[in-house]
A and B are shown apart, each in its own frame.
Chain A
Amino acid sequence: GDSVTQMEGPVTLSEEAFLTINCTYTATGYPSLFWYVQYPGEGLQLLLKATKADDKGSNKGFEATYRKETTSFHLEKGSVQVSDSAVYFCALSDWSPDDKIIFGKGTRLHILP
């Protein structure tokens, strides 16, 4: 079945460092890909998405490009801030009738001032 694999955390970086969180997927069709973020004490929020190959999703300085050839959707940010500390989930939806989302296990990110 479909699945998502993302790098295990926690990831600890200093403020203004470059961030990459790797994500790869397995899907039989042509899924939509997502990054969700969960800030401390809050619910899941959609951070960005891409619906077809070579699309780039971006939001709040974060970017991810849908790479069909490598089945990847790595999350990047050029200069992280303390406020980016959160858990990040890579996910896919395969456009099946139920549109359920398959999530990775999440990567906890700590940004040090």
Chain B
Amino acid sequence: GAGVSQSPSNKVTEKGKDVELRCDPISGHTALYWYRQSLGQGLEFLIYFQGNSAPDKSGLPSDRFSAERTGGSVSTLTIQRTQQEDSAVYLCASNRQGGNEQFFGPGTRLTVL
């Protein structure tokens, strides 16, 4: 079956613009995670969804970042008024309920000029 997919694969934007990043998890996976991979910084947890609700938003770096999930499936990560420090690879992962192995998408590389 299909794995986790993300779009776009690359996004270049100007400082101050809003961007939307999309994640399609594996069908049937109830949990969905967003991480950010910055150069030399490893992976940083951003937000977690169980179904459509987000019980843990603690990793979102500022109020410019938001995410939603609809229908227990697709999730969108929105960054408003992008800054250069937002440049990173944004990774999405999903797993089935009760499993702790996460399956990762290929990521979206965001470059803010």
Contacts and interface: CB of A to CB of B under 8 A. Distances in A.
Tell whether A and B belong to one assembly.
yes
A95 B106 contact: no
Nearest to B102: A101
Contacts of A95: 100
Contacts of B35: 103
A61 interface: no
Given A42-B106, A43-B106, A44-B104, A98 B42 contact: no
Contacts of B4: 43
Nearest to B103: A46
Contacts of B99: 99
Contact of B100 (A36, A44, A99, A102): A99
Contacts of B33: 100-101
Contact of A103 (B43, B48, B55, B107): B43
Contacts, number: 55
Contacts of B45: 100-102
A99 B55 contact: no
Given A99-B31, A99-B95, A43 B105 contact: yes
A34 B106 CA distance: 19
B79 interface: no
Interface in A69-112: 89, 93, 95, 97-106
A99 B40 contact: no
B48 A100 contact: yes
B101 interface: yes
10 contacts: A36-B104, A43-B105, A43-B106, A95-B100, A98-B48, A99-B99, A100-B48, A101-B33, A105-B40, A106-B43
Lowest 9 A-B CB distances belong to which pairs?
A105-B42, A103-B43, A44-B104, A43-B106, A98-B48, A93-B100, A99-B100, A43-B104, A98-B56
Interface of B: 4, 31, 33, 35, 40-43, 45, 48, 50, 55-56, 91, 93, 95, 99-107
Given A43-B104, A102-B45, 10 more contacts: A36-B104, A43-B91, A43-B105, A44-B104, A89-B43, A97-B55, A98-B50, A100-B56, A101-B33, A106-B43
